Each structure stands twice: as structure tokens, then as C-alpha cells.
Structure 1
Amino acid sequence: MKQRWIRTVLGLLLTLIMLIPVIQGDRPELLERFEYDLYDIRLKQFLADDKDPRIVIVDVDEKSLATEGRWPWNRTKLALMLDQLFDQYGVAIVGFDMVFSEADQSVDLGELKQYLALSGSQNIDDALAALDSDQHFTQAVQDRPVVLGYLFDRSPKKLQIGHPGSAVISHDPTLDRLPIPEANGVISSLNRLQNVAVWNGFFDNPMVDSDGVYRRVPVLQRYQDEYYPSLALAMLLALFAEESVAPIVETDATGERNALVAVDAAGMHIPVDQHGAVLVPYRGPQGSFPYISATDVIRGTADPSQLEGAIVLVGTSAAGLLDLRVTPMSNRYSGVEVHANILSGMLDERIQHQPDYTLGVELVQLLVSGILLSLIIPRTSVLISTLITFAWVGAIVAANLYAWSEMLWVIPLGYTLIMISVLYLFQQTTGYFFEARNKAQLANQFGQYIPPEVVEELSQQDQSVQLTGENREMTVFFSDVRGFTHLSEQLNPQQLTRLMNIYLSGMTKIIHEQKGTVDKYIGDAVMAFWGAPLKDENHARHALQSALKMIEVLPQLNQELAREDLPMVSVGMGINSGPMNVGNMGSNFRMAYTVMGDSVNLASRLEGLTKYYGVPLLVSGELASQVPEYLYRKLDRVQVKGRTEPVDILEPICLLEKAEKFLLDGVELFSEARDHYQSQQWQKAKECFAEYLKHYPSDEMSKIYIDRITEFEREAPGEGWCGVYSHTSK
């Protein structure tokens, strides 16, 4: 019991220690990586099965570079592409996952020659002015739902190239106190482009996870005390002709802590974390959206059915253009498709998120796991505790997956699984050491008295073994070699030692087979008991079975003794069941695990009375009542020395189910004789005992009764005689 509580307390202490990094928000990097891996596994298990046709990626791919020339292209091509998208294909909106921060100095020679031929002018400056590609691109953007991309700068240089356009949230003191990413500078498109573009969005990601993987992307960044949208959020606003968003901030119960939990954009609820970031709702591997080569759009050969009414994102997937990202889906994932996934999730309101009370949920999850395992594992076997642990892990994982799929909650799982594993291993390890220590102690304390398998069973008990003394219902056994003094006088020391070794080994083996405890050897005598240190509900049955087995094997032991020219032995045994004290008893100099009490003394008296009654085994009426499946011959009701209460003395014969008819008839005849004796019908009793002797001529008990009857016939017993015989000697 004490060891269980020690293991429980240690488990709870370990749980509290492991809670500290979670509370402080300072988890080891290795555990963070494990959490990332579990997030990626769950993400891949719940991917969409189809493409999202609403969003089309116009891709500057290898085919486009081969056809249109190296990147960057002359912006007249981009203007032509925009004209094609809106005028020929009828797209809904176009967003650029790229920045046009520098003026285009390139000239399309073919276009230049065509201009000079048509105009007849030879003035190069006039021609260049007329062929200004940036102006063409600006005109293509103007008055159309086009979203231009830009990126924020967080370097100490505080680069200021252009401006980010219009903010979607103006200065907000509440948001200013939140850990939303803040930029020092901006790199945006040319002013002439910015001045005609209504919507702009950043495409940089300052929140790449520590392993370099794109799992979350901010939809807001702070710049000069105002808040600007990401490319995906800006496209959502452009799609619904909105220019601002509303932050949703919740306050905790104390009223002191605010948390940004979502933004409302065009009537859509977009859950974000305290950094204003969303978990990218990847639909699947790269290619989860329709891809159309940019050159096909420019040349008018694209499939109109794919583009009509579509949301278009223009980006690059060619390897040399450096817009490939590491994502949970792939190590080479097109950056433009990351924005497409976010926009798709916003439109569907299908964005996994961590509620602001996620930390509380995880702490409860960890605490309950720690308490549960700390209480259960020390109290159950390795198999049961392992099954319970697996069942608990299964329940946590199932609840986690349900929250993920049905409520879009991302509840951390990795740290809980690590803690359960550590706690399980810790508990099993400490249990192993405690068990090894217990076994060593038990082997040291009981190894000489009880068999190893009982020591093993004791070590597996839920509660520790009581050694300091207690009162129990038990059975005690005494046996003694008849005429041992005479035998010992005939043998030399070596022969006597050999005789006792053969005899005591055989008897002890039988006691151990029946889960008995050898209390001591007293010369030729054996004292044993059942019911301690291991509790045994069948202590009386096991003791009786041991004694009968000893009687059965004694002839074999005598044969072994005869082969070694040693004298044969006979024994007398007594068994009694009842309450007795058991525990370590003795002095400061020597202790022994033994039993004491009136029930013990009675068993010793029964063993001594076997000489008088001429039988090898006597048991008390108390024992016989606990093992009713045996056939007994009730020999006498006596008052032994040192005891005032009379007891019934019985001779066990065999199992009732195996008793032959002549045995049953004999017991019935003897019982009838005793009944006549008890009722003082001396003549009938004598006749019955005489009849019994005809069948069992060597029966000493019948002769004793006939002698008693002869005495009573000469001198009748006094009034109040109830058939109890008093023994005045041990």
C-alpha cells in the first residue's frame, strides 16, 4: 500500500514538472517538432478529395518561359494577359503573387519596329514613350478588380519602396498590445500602379515554423500603427468589393487579457490566433487547383470553361524563379498555391484554428492524464495498466480527431502523448524496481518457509504483506515421528541426518505444493500453517489435502529409507482451523514469522492424541466443517489439557465421492455405536463396537470405547455426563 502511494505521488510530481514548460510556453524544440509532425499527419488525413474550380492559378511555368522568354517579361505582356483574362475569358478577379517595385526598362523589339513602321516617326524617344510597358500595365489594372502583391521588410535598414496601399484596420490601441507581426518597411509596386490599384496584399510570411515549414500565415501585419491584409485576405475583400475588416477581440475572465480570435471580412468569420495568423487549410498536394500556363492565356489558347467567372491568382512555379515553399504537403510546393488554399478556406469558412482557451484544454488534458495514470498504473498489473493506457491514448486521439474534423479545432496532442509515454515508462520502471525489491525482501523473509511460486504470488499482491502481527482465520498443522527417540539411539549421526533429510524433504515438498508455510522443524516434528503470509480462502482444505498426501506417500519414503538401510518411520498428525495471531515474533536478537494462540495449541494436542487413538491423523470439528466434501469418522468429544471447551475429534478417511460402500457402512456403524454410548445404552454400544471390530480388528478406538463401557458398567458416570472425555496429559 505504501509503495503504491509512493509511485502515485511520484507520478503526480512528474506530471506537475511536465506542466511547467506548457504553462511558460517554453517547450523543448524536439517536442515542438513532434507536435508539428502530428499536425501534418492529421492534416493529411482530412484532405479534400477534389480540386477547387473557383480558384485558377495562371502559372508562369517552364512552358511559359520557353515560349515568352525569360522572366521578368515586358509588362506589356502582363497588360495583354490582364486584358485577355477580363475581356476574353471573363474572370471575376485577378491577384498577383509578385511585386512590381522597379520600372520596366525592357523594350519589345518587334513592337518597336511595328510602331515605327506604322507611325513613320524616327524619333526613338517618342517611340519609347508610346511603348511604355508600365503605362500599359497601369491602364490594364485601372478600374479592374486586381490585387497587387507586396512584401513587408523587417530588416534594420527599414526599406521604403512604395507604399502598401490602404489599411484595412486603422490605429487600434487594443490590437497594438497584441503580438501581431510588425514591419519596419515595405517593398511595393510602382507608385503609378499603387495609385490605380484599390486592393493590395502582402505575400511574405514572417511566421514560418522553426522547421522551415509553411503551416501558418498571418492575414494581418502592423505597419506604422495601421493593419494591412495578406494577399488572400485582400482578394477576398476585392471579390466582395469591401475595403476593411473588423477584428474580433475577446477578454478573459479577469478582464486584464485580450486576445484576437477572428476577423470579420465581407461577413465571413475568419478564425486567427493571437498573432493574427491562420493555419493554412491545405486541400491536398500541389495541383489542388486548376493550373493554366500563362502563355496560353496571353495567346488566347486557354480553356474558357476553366476561367469564366474564376478567381485568378498569377504566380510562378518554375524552379528558377524561387517561389517554391516547404509545406506539410511537399518540400517543393508552389508559393502561389499557398495563397489559393487560404482564399479557398476563407470562402468555405473551413479554417482549422486553435481557440483562445486551447492552453486550458491542453492543461486539463495533461492533468487528467497524469492523475489517471498515476492512480491506476501502480494499482494494476502490467497487462491491465498497458491496456488502460492504450485505451486512454485512443480516447484522447479520437476526441482530438473529432474536434479537428467536426469543430475545426486544433488541440495540441504531441506533448500529451509524450507525457503519457514518459509517465507510463516511469511508473512501470519504478514498479519493476519496487517489485524486485519486494521479491528480494520476501525471498529473504519467506524463502525458507514457503515455495518460490508463493513468493512470486505474494509479490503480485495489491497490498504489502503484514509482518508486524495480525489476527487471521487460519489452519495449523503439527506432525511428529513416532518413537523417534528410540530410532535415534539406533543410528549414528550421519544416518540420523540422512533419515531426517529424506523424511523432512518429502513432507515439506507436499506442504509447498499446497501453498503452505513451514513454520519450523522441531527435531523430528514439523509445524506448518495455511492462510499466511498469503491469504488463502481454502486454507483448511489445503492443509487436509497435505496431511492425506503425506500419509499416502509415507510408504514410498519408507521404501527409500529401507534401500539405504535406514529404519522406517510412522507419524502422527494433528490439524485445527480457527483464529490465531500471525506475524514476526521473538526478541531483539532473533525473530521468526510464526503463529500463536489457542487454536495452535489445540492442533498440537491433536497431534499428541494420535498415539492414544491409534490413528495417523486427527482433525478438529472446526476443520471438518470447513471441508465437508470429505468422509470423517467422529472418534470422540474431548476436553484437552489447557482448554475448558470440549472439541470434536475426527479421523479423515477420504473424499466422499470416492468412498466405497464398505467405508460408508463402517462409518455409519461406528457413528451408531457412539450414539448408543452417548445415550448410555452400554450393551447396544458394546455390540456395535464389537461388530465394528469384526471388520476392523486393529481399530484402537473401538477397543477404547469397549474399555470405557466396561468401566461405566461397573460405576455409572455421574449426573450431567455428556460423553466428553478429559485428557489430562499432552
Structure 2
Amino acid sequence: MNQPYLRAIIIALISFLLGSGIDALTNIETSLGLDTLFKIRGTRPPPAEAVIVAMDEVSETRFNLRQDFTLWRGFHAKLIQELHRQGAALIVFDLQFIAADPEHDPAFSEAIRQAGNVLVTDCVQKLRRGVEDFYGRSACSKNNLQPFVQLEGQQKQPLSEQLIAMRKIEPAATIKAAALDHAPFFLTDDAENAIVREGWIFLDALAEAPTLPVLTWLYYLQHSGQLHGINQPNSLFSTWLTNKRRQCLLPVKPTLTASAKEIDLQQRLDNIICLQDTRYLDFYGPPHTFRMESYSDVYDGKVSNLKDKVVFVGMSNRQFAPTKPDFFQTPYTDTHSGRMAGVEIMATQFANLLEGRFVTSPYPPALWYVLFGLWIGWLLTQFPGLLGIAASLLLGGVYAGLTVWYFKRSGAWLPVAVPLLIQLPCAWLMSLVWSRRDLLKERKRILMFVRQIFPQWIHFVATSPGQWYPEKSAKALAFERDVNGLCLATDIEGYTTVAAQHTPHEMWELLNEYYQVLSHPVTKHQGIIADVTGDAMMAVWIDGAVATQRLAACLAALEMALAVERFNDATRVGRLPTRIGLHEGAMTLGKINAGEGSHYRAIGDTVNTASRIQGVNKYLGTQILASASFAANVNNIISRPVGLFRLVGREEPLALLEIVAIKSNMSDTQIKLGQQFAKGLMAFQQGQWTAAANSFQALLDTYNTDGPSQFYLNLALAYQKNPPAYWEGIVTLGEK
């Protein structure tokens, strides 16, 4: 796999694991990410259908209640009558009427019965540890302390510390009988100092009981006629919802005459009944964001415009008082706003149901972590250093803006804390470590190159980062070094013709770009460019395992040929077709003094032979040739023998191979061509001129073109007419 892409994947994987782990331990995405999204978004208008009647400080003073919660019941009957007179759609009490009140209950119950639209709250009590640790809404827990379970015998030992149980306590019998319906509404106890972010849809621990906001929503839909065309229960909605939750049966599908609106509502009902039992609340703002009227003002008939409204009645102070019960922290609350009353949280959940909008994550957070990590990793690998950090920071800013916009638009919650506060710095750190490692690695290669090619400068090169010794003078050193290595020689075909058609400056620009393209495959595969002269370049591989060097040189040659082809397709100045020759053997790397100047290069018969081999390409119509000893057994490289040649200036014949392709890229056509060519070459080397000519001609008829086949066909036809006097199967070339 390409190294930059591998690094991007590693960055994504490590940042994902780190971010997920920290989030699992600290819940940072919820406690910081979600809360920050709420604060950045600010307030949004709640539905006008929801109104809160606040049992506030003004009303306490008006009725002289002295903060005695139990005395309020004597005023509820008239409040209901006033709300009913104004045509309120529903009246929902976020209050618990558990204990009977013989003095006020008759009038209260009668007002509830006459209104016919009053919903009341069941109390939820939770036992956490032992027999004394009850908690829940305050009135319920203080007044109902009987044990959840009974121990056998007379043992008085405490219950298990691990026992957690819940129970529902219904309103007094007369109030329950008069009410339209009743359901629990559970919030975390204030003493735990927890922030309320989720609301219960169903309390599955209480026999799949629906909560009061869900019940209110359904009764409001019924009141407003929105349930038309949807199967409705004959029983109370609380009973119907419980049965549906238990069975989670899909309702009867709408008929073809059902409207799209009815189908959409049916789908929403299915989701509410059959999916998760809690939802993240989409809060509208800090406390008192909803329309809030004082209890005493409504009681005295001073408030109008309550027709068809859902009126929530409950405790809600205008000024926050820490000693008051039933007030909770939300993502918006702070020291200035105070905490939010339970009745406003109930109204929030109802409003979310009415709008069909809760805070939801479109996809699992882990998927966002992976995608964000991949994007950041890709940027940091494509643009290393400060440029990559700037690009990733820009991407982080764009992602943060998209997250805020998406949250504001639809309540969709995309992770923001983990990607920006954990993954992004983690990716920067890994990128900087890799950059430092690459810098040291490249410096090591430069030092090796200087040591091999320019030994007189080695004492002026820093031995470690941050060091420099200009005061050191070059010591007496040997200016040459004998090595065994591999040599790659290149030459531009038709260079003289191209140069004659352009100005020297145009050729300088062309060659400057050309040699950058040519040198990249060499340095990529750990080669050393030993010399560049005119239209020729020489590269060497030394000081490595022979098999590794051979493979590296072959890969460099193949990539060089492809890079030159792309360069020629892109350039407008002139094409520079390039021939490549490969050979291995002894060389001397050293300094040659020429007057007052010095030049360092590779010298020896190996270098000359590599240059002669690249010259054979023009006869055979090939691009990459290598000596057989060099490339015969290189793993993962496909080559084909092209014959024995006596090169100019050499007595000994040399077997040559054409480097064809990487094994994984080899096509069936190339394989068949090579097999047929081998048969013709064998016939040619055995002096069977007619058979060889027929074989090469058949190959050209099948594949249209093949340089070596054309070369040997011409020779075979010539030898048919004038056979050589003495034949050893060796082709002698008369010129370079």
C-alpha cells in the first residue's frame, strides 16, 4: 500500500481508538460537545401550543402560602374552571396528588371531571441502596417509605447494596377517577447534581408505562383532529400505549387513500412506541424560554389567549432559590439563569414530540470518528509540516461550522468534542513525529551519499541535528572507493534533432524538468545519481543486499519508463524518448581532477557496459535492457531473453534480457508473445534461418508490432541469402 495512505489509515485508527476510549471514560462528547452545541446555537422559539402556569413567588405571596406546597390544592379547582372557560385543549399537572385531602378533593375532583381534559402525574419512586435510601420527586419519596421488598422471617439485615428497584405510586382514588388519564414523569433527583439531557418516553422498568409527555402529545393530537385516519384505542391512551409497547406490533398499514401526512404521523407513532425508551431533549433555551404565566394571574382571570393551548401547571420560581425542590440543571443553566423547573422540562419533551424533533445522531459516533480521522490523516500526509496542520485546522473549522449549522437546522448531533479536542491534536502529534523521522532518515541518506561520492566534504557535514563544524578542515582522505554495485544508464533518443529545433534556454528548461522526473524513481528506490552529462544520466546502487539492489534497480527502471511516457505526453516543447541499460559489476567511485576543478563519478567497465547495453535498445526497438546475470532471477520482475550480443569495444559476448513488467501487471498477451518469441530466437541461434523467419513473421502478423521480432526477422531474411561463414548464435553490433 502507498505509504501516505497507510499513514493516513494509521492516524485515523489511533485517533479513533484514543478518542473513543476517552469518551467512554469521561463522556466528553455529551458533557462538553452537546452542551457546547446548545450554547452556540442559542435559543429557538418553542411551539406556541405549550404554556406553563407557574406556581411562583408572586402567587405564593398573593395566596399567603408561605412556601407550603400542600396548601396549593385548595386553589386548583378554580384554576381548572378558568382554564376550561378559556378553552384550553389540555391541562397537565406536574404535581403529585398521592395523599387524599378531604377538605379540598371533592371540589378539585369535580372541577377535573367537568373539564374532562385534565392529566395528572403518577409518582415514580426509586430504591437504590438498603431500605432507607429512597429517591425520586420529593413528595413521593418523603411520604412513601414502605419497603419495596419484604424479608422472610424476623431478620433485620439491610437489603443488598446492589439492589435497584422502581415503583409507581398513583394519585388519590377520587382524583385518579376524575382525571382524563394519568402517567408517570421521572427526573433524576436534584441531590445528585446531574444535568438532565434525556427524557423518558417509556419506563420499561415500570411495566412499559408511557410517560406523561407522550400521553399529553397523543391526547393533543386527538383533540386537534390529527389522529383522523389512524387506528385509535377504545381504552385509555395509557393502557393502549403500554400494550403496544409490550407487543411492539406494527399497526395496520394505511390504505391507498391515506394522505402523506397521515402516513408520516403513523411512522412517527411507530418510532415512539417501538424504539428506544429515552430520547435526548432538544432544549429551547434557558429557564423561562416557554411562555410562562403566573398562577395567580391565571387564577384571577388576568390572562387571555389560552384557547386550544396545552397548559402545564407546576412549580417554577421567577428567581432561582437553591433550597427549592424540583429544579434541575440542563445544558443551558448557569449561575445567571438558575436551574430549570421540572414542569418546563415536561413542556420541552411535549414540544419535541409535537415538532417531531429530538436531538439525534444520524449515524453512530464511531463512524464520524473514523471519517474525521481519515480526512485529517490524508491532509497531513499530502501536505506535510505547517501546511498540513493549517489545512487540517481549516477542515476542523469547516466541520465545526457544519456541525453547528446541522444542529441548529434539525437537531442532528454530530460529534464535535472528540474530533476537535482529541483526534485533531493527536493527528498533529503523529504527523510531527513522522516528519521528524523522515527528516532524520533523509539526512542519513544524504550523509551516506556524501560519504560515498564526495568524501572530501564529509567533515563539514553535521554528524547530528543542530551540529556544524566549519572549523574542521578536510583531512587527507582517499578520493576513490572500489565497490561492487549496479549501474543504470539512460540516454535520450534523437536528442540532437530535438536540441537543434529549440533555443538553449528552452532546452535548459526542458532538461531541468526532465531530470527531475527521471531522478525521482532512483531516489525513491534508494539509488544514487552518480552523473548527469548532456542527455545521459548514470545511477548506481551500492552497499546493499544484491537481491534487494537488483529488484530496486528494475523497479526504478520500470517506473522511470512510465514517468518519461507521462512527461512526453504532457510537454509541449518536445518529446524525449529514453533508453535504459542495466548492468552490475565492479566500479570505482572517486574524484577526477580536471584543471582547477574536480568531479566525482562512477568509473569502470561496468559503467561503460551499462551505457553500451542501453544503446542496443535502438536496434531492438526496446526501452529497458539488462545483462542476463543482472536480471535473470529477480523476484516479481518479468523479463525475456533477447539474445547474445558482442557489444562495441567488448570481445566477450553478453546475454541480454528485456525488462518487461512487474509480475502482477503482466498480461496474457505479453506472456504468449514472449513464449512465441523464445521459439523464434532458439531457431535463429541454431542457424535455422527459414524457421526463425517464419516464426517471427507469424508473431508480427498476430501482434502487429514487436521490436526484437522485427530485428531478428530482418537478420534471418538477410542470412537466408548470405549465411555467415562461422555462426555461434552471437549478434555483433558494429556501432554504439
Calculate the TM-score normalised by the size of structure 2. Answer: 0.50
Distance 2:413 2:340 in 1: 23
Matched positions, count:
444
Shift of 1:280: 1.5
> Pick from 238, 247, 250: which aligns with 2:219?
238
Shift of 1:135: 1.6
Distance 2:351 2:288 in 1: 14
Compared CA separation, residues 4 and 469, structure 1 to 2 (3 A): farther
What is the match of residue 582 of structure 1? 540
Deviation per residue, 1:30-80 (Å, 9 max, x gap): 2x1243322123234445544543222111111111121222225221212
Distance 2:249 2:15 in 1: 30
* Alignment check: 8 A CA contact 1:207 1:218 kept: no
* Alignment check: 8 A CA contact 1:443 1:455 kept: no
* Alignment check: 8 A CA contact 2:50 2:311 kept: yes
> Pick from 130, 133, 137: which aligns with 2:108?
137
Compared CA separation, residues 469 and 289, structure 1 to 2 (3 A): same
Counterpart residue identity of residue 195, structure 2: V
Compared CA separation, residues 210 and 29, structure 1 to 2 (3 A): farther
- Secondary structure at the counterpart of residue 285 of structure 1: coil
What is the match of residue 91 of structure 1? 88
* Alignment check: 8 A CA contact 2:190 2:328 kept: no
1:471 matched to 2:467: no
What is the match of residue 326 of structure 1? 329
Counterpart residue identity of residue 185, structure 2: F
What is the match of residue 309 of structure 1? 308
Compared CA separation, residues 58 and 328, structure 1 to 2 (3 A): same
- Secondary structure at the counterpart of residue 142 of structure 1: helix
Q: What fraction of aligned residue pairs are identical, expressed as a percent?
A: 16
> Pick from 151, 155, 178: which aligns with 2:123?
151
Correspondences of 1:435-450 after superposition (within 5 Å): 435-438=438-441, 441-442=444-445, 444-445=447-448, 449=454
- Secondary structure at the counterpart of residue 95 of structure 1: strand
Distance 1:349 1:145 in 2: 23
* Alignment check: 8 A CA contact 2:316 2:341 kept: yes
* Alignment check: 8 A CA contact 1:56 1:289 kept: yes
Shift of 1:224: 5.3
- Secondary structure at the counterpart of residue 285 of structure 2: coil
Deviation per residue, 1:484-520 (Å, 9 max, x gap): xxxxxxxxxxxxxxxxxxxxxxxxxxxxxxx9xxxxx
Deviation per residue, 1:658-706 (Å, 9 max, x gap): xxxxxxxxxxxxxxxxxxxxxxxxxxxxxxxxxxxxxxxxxxxxxxxxx
What is the match of residue 196 of structure 2? 214
Correspondences of 1:499-538 after superposition (within 5 Å): none
Distance 1:47 1:13 in 2: 34
Shift of 1:217: 0.5
- Secondary structure at the counterpart of residue 313 of structure 2: strand
Counterpart residue identity of residue 594, structure 2: E
* Alignment check: 8 A CA contact 1:272 1:278 kept: no
Distance 2:374 2:407 in 1: 25
The structure whose Rg is larger is 1
Compared CA separation, residues 601 and 409, structure 1 to 2 (3 A): closer
Distance 1:264 1:99 in 2: 31
Compared CA separation, residues 379 and 604, structure 1 to 2 (3 A): same
Distance 2:356 2:544 in 1: 80
Counterpart residue identity of residue 221, structure 1: L
1:385 matched to 2:380: no
Deviation per residue, 1:152-192 (Å, 9 max, x gap): 12216699999xxxxxxxxxxxxxxxxxxx96312332122
Counterpart residue identity of residue 307, structure 2: E
Distance 1:155 1:277 in 2: 20
Shift of 1:413: 3.8
* Alignment check: 8 A CA contact 1:263 1:269 kept: no
* Alignment check: 8 A CA contact 1:199 1:235 kept: no
Compared CA separation, residues 468 and 395, structure 1 to 2 (3 A): farther
Deviation per residue, 1:6-53 (Å, 9 max, x gap): 8557536525744875xxxx94332x1243322123234445544543
Deviation per residue, 1:452-480 (Å, 9 max, x gap): 9x999xx9xxxxxxx97653669xxxxxx
- Secondary structure at the counterpart of residue 304 of structure 1: coil
What is the match of residue 344 of structure 1? 351
Distance 1:97 1:468 in 2: 89
Distance 2:271 2:412 in 1: 13
Shift of 1:99: 0.5
What is the match of residue 29 of structure 1? 25
1:415 matched to 2:412: no
* Alignment check: 8 A CA contact 1:374 1:427 kept: no
Shift of 1:216: 0.8
- Secondary structure at the counterpart of residue 101 of structure 1: coil
Compared CA separation, residues 94 and 468, structure 1 to 2 (3 A): farther
Distance 1:435 1:324 in 2: 58
* Alignment check: 8 A CA contact 1:218 1:275 kept: no
- Secondary structure at the counterpart of residue 127 of structure 2: coil
Shift of 1:94: 0.9
Compared CA separation, residues 608 and 37, structure 1 to 2 (3 A): closer
* Alignment check: 8 A CA contact 1:473 1:531 kept: no
- Which consecutive unaligned segments of at least 5 residues does structure 2 have? 141-163, 224-235, 251-262, 466-483, 492-511, 513-518, 547-582, 598-610, 612-647, 651-736
- Secondary structure at the counterpart of residue 28 of structure 1: helix
Distance 2:521 2:176 in 1: 92
* Alignment check: 8 A CA contact 1:59 1:291 kept: yes
- Secondary structure at the counterpart of residue 195 of structure 1: helix
Distance 2:48 2:16 in 1: 50
What is the match of residue 291 of structure 2? 290
> Pick from 434, 437, 443: which aligns with 1:434?
437
Counterpart residue identity of residue 353, structure 1: T
* Alignment check: 8 A CA contact 1:58 1:292 kept: yes
Compared CA separation, residues 576 and 310, structure 1 to 2 (3 A): closer
Residues 411-420 or 202-211, more deviating: 202-211
* Alignment check: 8 A CA contact 2:248 2:274 kept: no
Distance 1:338 1:60 in 2: 15
Shift of 1:392: 4.1
Distance 2:113 2:183 in 1: 17
> Pick from 563, 573, 594: which aligns with 1:607?
594
Counterpart residue identity of residue 113, structure 2: Q
Deviation per residue, 1:319-370 (Å, 9 max, x gap): 3431221011114122211111221222222333245xx32xx333333344
Compared CA separation, residues 276 and 209, structure 1 to 2 (3 A): farther
